[in-house]
Amino acid sequence: MSRPSPDFHPALRLVHWLMALLVLTMLFVGVAMVSTAGPAYPRLLALHRPLGIAILALVVLRLALRLATGAPALPADLPAPQRFAAKASHWLLYASMAAMPLIGWAMLSAGGYPVRLGLGLVLPPILPHDLRLYAPLRALHTIVALLFFALILVHLAAALMHGLIRRDGVLRSMTIGHGGRREPGVRERR
Amino acid sequence: MPPTRRAFAAPAALIGAIVLLLAAAFAWAAGWLGPKRIDGGTIVTALDANGGRHPHYRRAHAKGLCFTGAFDATGNGAALSEAVLLRRGRYPVLGRFSLGGGNPLAGDGRPVFHAIALRLTAPDGEEWRMAMDHTPIFPVADVPSFVALQRATTPDPRTGKPDPAILAPFIAAHPEVKAFQDYMAHAVLPNSFANATYYSINAFRFTDSAGAARLVRWRFVPEAPLAGLDLAHLDALPRDYLFREMVARTARGPSRWRLELVVANPGDVTDKATVAWQGPHRTIDAGTLTLSAVQPEETGACRDINFDPTILPRGIGLSDDPLLAARSKAYSSSFNRRAAEGPGPSAIGQDLAKETAR
């Protein structure tokens, strides 16, 4: 869906940066907690679950916002393979953000673990208790997390490439916006 | 104006540096860079190396028996914790008896931990999981010592006994292990799972509804009078003596334990499971555990549960004892490995299958 403004909706920009912070924190917490049997382990684990569920709630909100407000058009001079990469990577990022907490929740359910969010709040299981489901989901949780982090690095590099090298307003459309101005490289619509 | 090559190189280098820095930070967080960390795999691998690798089973306390029952809380425990499970009421219990060691088919006549694991479930979905031993103390106080203990007591393939050249310096450096070995050499080794007292091993932080926190250890005290196995003739016991005794006993009627919560005195060591608490303590009778049925792991519900003692309801939290985090991580690694390997048959399940076939 295209959007007449050269910028993402301000609400979507806010959720993007909030989620960027949460998702990066989450990925670092995740790999750090599995790396140690020290006192940090239970502390990080206690942070990991409520944070994951917060990300799941935010990605639902964000997807609704994104579908309702659309995205600004990509620069018209962007080569076709890059256009495809941009669109595909964005959908993969959305898919990862939704899949990671869902896999985590499903995996804990299948492992017979209570999904405790703290403060006495426990989520219901979304899969039956079955270790034949738990084992592949546990492996998948790690694999998707590592691919997700790699995708975020590519996304970051591409955003910086737009902002620092092409200077085509794409980075600005997710940061401070254009304040009604048009940058030279930006066309109004496709 | 088209950007010059030079103007392109600087931002490209900057982008590369940012991405590399983030990737390096991630690798450091994951422990891929920097000194080797002790994780769950380190502990589980040390257990495997010590007792022989037994895939499909728990890496410790591999030999087990499931049971079901109930916990009837007196409500007195509410003086220490706001946990729903300590409020007056009856809560379902799933449990597992086990013997220490990684061999699921080992004989019962061994001077090892007799253990009970419990899962108490509250109506709101909160759980209190416990994994307890029949000794009030544990041989080591921290994770590096636990891993070193496994390595030091690994049988030498030539003699079948630990290598004294490795064991002696380890014991000399760890007087707490010597203290534990002396305790085990003289303590009564219960002749039934039903007449042992089971201890929480670690201290936990209990928080009451007013927000006051206290460090607490607990024990399950049996109704059945304690009697011991003959330590001189342990080898003569049938392989599954204790497990069969528990099956036969439960066919005659339920077994019961009182849950006693023991509050730390000022000065008690609360972060080392190697140190017993001496002298009088404030002790609260929190309720009765009633075991009403036992099942082999093949048909019971305990086999596929991780009895991680850090899964606690609101109102009970971890103490500063570093062993708790290590137990949680090691249990988790063991659980993940055996989940991927698929389950194996249990000793008592084999016995019962043979009897049915007869």
Query: In this predicted structure, what is the pLDDT of residue A35?
Result: 96
Choosing among B307, B318, B336, which should be mutated to test the A contact, i.e. which has the most A CBs within 10 A? B336
Query: In this predicted structure, what is the pLDDT of residue B7?
Result: 74
User: If you average pLDDT over residues B111-130, what whole number do you get?
Assistant: 96
User: If you average pLDDT over residues B26-31, what whole number do you get?
Assistant: 97
pLDDT, tens digit, for every residue of A56-108?
A: 999 999 999 999 999 999 999 999 999 999 999 999 999 999 999 999 999 99
Cβ–Cβ below 8 Å for B322 and A38 = yes
Cβ–Cβ below 8 Å for B29 and A32 = yes
B61, B114, B134, B174: the catalytic one is B61
* Distance in angstroms (rounded) separating the CA atoms of residues B282 and B259: 14
Q: In Å, how far is B214's CA from the nearest CA of chain A?
A: 19
* Distance in angstroms (rounded) separating the CA atoms of residues B241 and B114: 13
**DSSP class per residue in B220-269:** EEESSPP-B--GGGGGGS-TTHHHHHHHHHHHH--EEEEEEEEEPPTT--
For chain B, how many helices (H) and strands (E)?
Answer: 8, 10
Cβ–Cβ below 8 Å for A38 and B29 = no
Chain B residues inside the 8 Å CB shell of A130: 304
Q: How many CB atoms neighbour CB A115 within 10 A? A: 21
| Position A187 pLDDT exceeds 80 | no
Query: In this predicted structure, what is the pLDDT of residue A109?
Result: 98
Helix A131-160 crosses helix B322-341 at what angle (to 10 degrees)? Answer: 110
Q: In Å, how far is B45's CA from the nearest CA of chain A?
A: 13
* Distance in angstroms (rounded) separating the CA atoms of residues A26 and A48: 7
Q: What are the C-alpha distances in Å from B126 to residues A122, A123, A140, B86, B315?
A: 7, 10, 27, 12, 11
Please check whether residue B91 is in contact with residue B313, taking contact to mean a CB–CB distance below 8 angstroms: no
- Max CA-CA distance within chain B? 94
B356 pLDDT tier (thresholds 50, 70, 90): confident
pLDDT, tens digit, for every residue of B171-188?
A: 999 999 999 999 999 999
Pairing of strands B63-73, B89-99: antiparallel
Nearest to A157 among B8, B15, B311 (CB): B15
pLDDT, tens digit, for every residue of B187-238?
A: 999 999 999 999 999 999 999 999 999 999 999 999 999 999 999 999 999 9
Q: Is B174 a catalytic residue?
A: no
Asked casually if ipTM beats, i.e. exceeds, 0.85, the reply is yes
pLDDT, tens digit, for every residue of A134-170?
A: 999 999 999 999 999 999 999 999 999 999 999 999 9
Mean pLDDT of chain B: 95
* Distance in angstroms (rounded) separating the CA atoms of residues B300 and B83: 27
Choosing among A113, A149, A162, which should be mutated to test the B contact, i.e. which has the most B CBs within 10 A? A113
| Position B33 pLDDT exceeds 50 | yes
Nearest to B21 by CA among A35, A48, A160: A160
Nearest to B138 by CA among B163, B112, B108: B112
Q: By three-state DSSP, how is residue A110 classified?
A: helix
Please check whether residue B73 is in contact with residue B313, taking contact to mean a CB–CB distance below 8 angstroms: no
Q: By three-state DSSP, how is residue B116 classified?
A: strand
* Distance in angstroms (rounded) separating the CA atoms of residues B274 and B180: 8
User: If you average pLDDT over residues A119-124, what whole number do you get?
Assistant: 88
pTM: 0.94
* Distance in angstroms (rounded) separating the CA atoms of residues B36 and B263: 38
Query: What percent of chain B is predicted at pLDDT more than 70?
Result: 98
pLDDT, tens digit, for every residue of B314-331?
A: 999 999 999 999 999 999
Query: In this predicted structure, what is the pLDDT of residue A181?
Result: 54
Query: In terms of CA atoms, which chain B residue is nearest residue A133?
Result: B339
Q: In Å, how far is A68's CA from the nearest CA of chain B?
A: 32
Helix A80-110 crosses helix A40-69 at what angle (to 10 degrees)? Answer: 130
